[in-house]
Structure 1
Amino acid sequence: MTDQIPVRRALISVSDKTGLVELGRALADRGVELLSTGGTARALRDAGLTVKDVSEVTGFPEMMDGRVKTLHPMVHGGLLALRDNADHVAAMEEHGIGAIDLLVVNLYPFEETVAKGADWATCIENIDIGGPAMIRAAAKNHAFVTVVVDVEDYDKLLGDMDQHGGATCPKFRRKLAQKAYARTAAYDAAVSNWMAGALEIEAPRRRAFAGTLAQTLRYGENPHQRAAFYVDGSDRPGVATAVQHQGKELSYNNINDTDAAFELVAEFDPAEGPACAIIKHANPSGVARGKTLVEAYKAAFDCDRTSAFGGIVALNQPLDADTAREITGIFTEVVIAPGATEEAKEIFAAKKNLRLLTTEGLPDPRAGGLAFRQVAGGFLVQDKDNGFVGLDDLKVVTKKAPTEKQMRDLLFAWKVAKHVKSNAIVYVKDQATVGVGAGQMSRVDSALIAAKKAERMAEALGLPQPLTVGSAVASDAFFPFPDGLMEAAGAGATCVIQPGGSMRDDEVIAAADEAGLAMVFTAMRHFRH
């Protein structure tokens, strides 16, 4: 491969004008000839720089509303020609094609246009054609051409040129070529996924996902695993869009658990009162509502104080000073909330390792979107679980109907169960979890574990009996046999919410009636694997 390539001629065509003038001036100061198009050329000229229009090079004016301007042999020949190939050099000389040593392009803002909810025609007009074509050409010919697609790389470009006397080195060009292809791949993925959604194609023949690096992580789930965090550019409030006010960098597990915590607490409308969720290893150790945020936190903490140690706390309202003081009473990894008062931030400042994230909003639990995970040889794609069950959706199937208070606790338990790993059993009393059983191979075991945790907490709190006595219980999927239901009844539950749909529903309902339980069916399952 050719070594250092002097940058003598650059083609610049950018949608995002951030840093454009500074870059153009720096290149001109280094003796680089500037070629450009449309608005980019105007911005450079307005800054007093000498710029040659691409139309002067091609001999054709920009036409068709700018759709056709760089798709020409005078441009692509200058990008694709192999400078060490005699036939290529001869063709350039014969046709008057000048070499282009540097291409700086960022693409039409298609993703931003879609995010604004633009109509079909507007989105189509914001699909860049010439830009990706030039980027791919320059990246292919990186032996001779430097291609820059990110504003963040402008300073690196100038630094490499200064280090090599106005030239760029092979290693730098290779890295930029990789970035270039990643950008066009992400762009095409955005276009194809938008089209699939707009056309209501449920399972496209090919599906691509893309992200932008937000953070290189110290390691993954375990120290021997390398990891990084990528963001998809969506504006959904959460760990990817949050502002971190203090504390060390988030780890892989921190990010995963913080996302789980915030998505769970978002199930509880802040207009209906404060709520808190405490997460450990992607499962809730406690979730509660309260008259105040600190009351909600205390109730969530009292569900399982042992597991709350070193956990993630998510709040559905801005963090206040009282809650901040309470949280700092034990070791906590991360707190995420829609906001935080200055006094709360000052209290947290004394805990230098405690991370505080604010998001300026809550994610909409009913919003659509896709979820995917890798398996050997492929990946699974599904709709996000945005299923919702309200009071009117519940069907009473037992002789005894739940009271109004029991209905509130049942719906609370159902929202929590949606975010607990299957098989999930959740006991709730007075709008707070009092026992959570997660991730067991048997639903019976989940019911037993949740009840046992409640017993231990009752002893720790000095209560005469576990809070599962008189509680509501949720099961994320149907009870295939009465045994799991009976374990819940044995723990003191008085009412049950479950999807129904088992071949033995009649047996389960009969067992509930015999035990004096009230039970409702949701006709919706919330498996979470």
Structure 2
Amino acid sequence: MTAVPLKRALISVSDKGGLIELGQALAARGVELLSTGGSAKALRDAGLTVKDVAEVTGFPEMMDGRVKTLHPKVHGGLLALRDNPDHAAAMDVHGIGGIDLLVVNLYPFEATVASGADEATCIENIDIGGPAMIRAGAKNQGFTCVVTDPEDYAALMAELDANDGATTLPFRQRQSAIAYGRTAAYDAAVATWMARFEETPRRVAAAGRLAQPMRYGENPHQAAALYVDGSNRPGVATATQHQGKDLSYNNINDTDAAVELVAEFTADPAVAIIKHANPCGVATGATLAEAYQRAFDCDRTSAFGGIVALNGTLDADTARLITGIFTEVVIAPAATDEAREIFAAKKNLRLLTTGTLPDPRQPRRMMKQVAGGWLAQDHDTGFVADADFRVVTKLAPTDAQLRDLRLAWTVAKHVKSNAIIYVKDGATVGIGAGQMSRVDSSRIAARKALDVAEVLGLPQSAAVGSVVASDAFFPFADGLLAAAEAGATAVIQPGGSMRDDEVIAAADDAGLAMVFTGMRHFRH
């Protein structure tokens, strides 16, 4: 059967948005309305005739509403194959009426967890009857239409208008797909929350809600879209966009890298400039404008068309500097009205505000698809306090060097491996990223420092007098010696190589101060 006339509807919704208008539209078409609890009350208060599900089942709502729709007269009405004689006979014998439309949205479990509610409250917001009904109705797509999102109410009305008060099979199939996606996402959210009771969950699930379809992914031949996971973590996926065209896949990927990096800095104004998911310049300063200029000076060429992230409110002075070159995206916790006016003149510049910054130490699970499965790991929240830095050379770093070592180590966490970062006076002056050899990364970073010197008119490499960070240990002394040749005076690295003694001896011979962190920061 393709077209099913809509005669009877069951409505049970947590989100009451659009409920009254939906009920009125259905009643105007002569549809019998069944409902529960707050939904029934809201419809009655609007002057509509509603039959309580309790009247249908013969059982009252009980156990604080935990049990109300789990009954054969509900699920039989949702699951019955109307063209099957045995099903039809069972309906007649047991007084089960068919349900042609099910409108259900679920208890707000995801929002409850995101609000920081206690465990008991979160558990009470795990819906049982709703998902059971949705799955039953969606399975019976030949006869039952399921609507789980208020945003689909208009499409339902258009379907009824176009088909003389009936739903067609293609429409019901589409709604079934949406319905199963909703219950899968809901169960995934619950499973993810519950997974904290297992160190390595036996099964994992990931889910998201479509936030933005995209023209394409990394390349024009790849389809792509952005989904939000309901965690409300501050960042690119939850930011407010104030101007500019939609973000592309690459924009979102790079902007995420930028905001996660700049969020590491809380003591001083900081700016990170990102290109192809790697930092090309990071700096702190007395003001955001100063920090931006110093980050920009690290690699002016790569900054063109890059992503800029700030850890404070975008002000007019900083906005003027940023608009000096073409920039794809700027993301900050907030922006002044004057800054937004300055950006308004650059129609292709996207401005995003997050309200606050993500917590870089908040635990979360990262998943990456591989052929035939998924890799899952904790987000890199690793942090080593300055007091835990272990000086391993005869020469200890000065306080000024320690500050730069901290910045270099923080940036290294966000640079693709192998990562080498030179920092001087609170700003990166050379970054080597993503090379197969750590020596090559060292050489690239040193070359970048020479470029900085040329742009700024310095008499020697900007790496002279700098400190250097390596995201993993130096397996041989050659990478460290390359940094020394570039002019570095202090080194920070995890340590842990079989040849640590050789590397330490080489540092001593070169007159370098070196500290070990005991923690590496691979980023692949």
Report if TM-score (shorter chain) is over 0.5.
Answer: yes
Q: Secondary structure at the match of 2:226?
A: strand
- Select the residue among 420, 444, 469 that pairs with 1:474: 469
State the partner residue of 1:63: 62
State the partner residue of 1:228: 225
- Select the residue among 418, 426, 429 that pairs with 1:434: 429
1:263-278 to 2 correspondence within 5 Å? 263-269=260-266, 272-278=267-273
State the partner residue of 1:285: 280
State the partner residue of 1:218: 215
Q: Secondary structure at the match of 1:180?
A: helix
Q: Secondary structure at the match of 2:430?
A: strand
TM-score by length of 2: 0.99
Identity across aligned pairs (percent)? 76
Instruction: Measure how far apart 1:121 and its partner are.
Output: 2.9
Q: Structure 1 CA distance, aligned partners of 2:124 and 2:317?
A: 52
Q: Secondary structure at the match of 2:328?
A: strand
Instruction: Measure how far apart 1:168 and its partner are.
Output: 1.4
Instruction: Measure how far apart 1:195 and its partner are.
Output: 1.3
> Residue 240 in 1 paired to residue 237 in 2?
yes
1:71-150 to 2 correspondence within 5 Å? 71-150=70-149
1:86-485 to 2 correspondence within 5 Å? 86-197=85-196, 199=197, 201-269=198-266, 272-485=267-480
Q: Secondary structure at the match of 1:302?
A: helix
Instruction: Measure how far apart 1:229 and its partner are.
Output: 0.5
Q: Secondary structure at the match of 2:44?
A: helix
| Residue ranges of structure 2 left out of the alignment (5+ in a row) | none
Q: Deviations over 1:428-461 (max 9, x none)?
A: 0010000000000110000000111111221122
State the partner residue of 1:506: 501
Instruction: Measure how far apart 1:493 and its partner are.
Output: 0.2
Letter in 2 for 1:122: T
TM-score by length of 1: 0.98
List 4+ stretches of structure 1 deviating above 6 A: none
Q: Deviations over 1:67-104 (max 9, x none)?
A: 21111111111111111212211221222211100000
The question of whether the paired residues in 1 share the 8 Å contact of 2:298 and 2:429 is answered with yes
Instruction: Measure how far apart 1:187 and its partner are.
Output: 1.1
Q: Structure 2 CA distance, aligned partners of 1:63 and 1:404?
A: 67
Instruction: Measure how far apart 1:273 and its partner are.
Output: 2.0
Q: Deviations over 1:299-340 (max 9, x none)?
A: 000000110010000000111111111111111100000010
Letter in 2 for 1:518: A
Letter in 2 for 1:216: P
Instruction: Measure how far apart 1:240 and its partner are.
Output: 0.8
Instruction: Measure how far apart 1:116 and its partner are.
Output: 2.8
| Residue ranges of structure 1 left out of the alignment (5+ in a row) | none
State the partner residue of 2:492: 497
Task: Say which is worse superposed, 48-57 or 453-462, in terms of deviation.
Answer: 453-462
Length, aligned pairs only = 524
Letter in 2 for 1:24: G
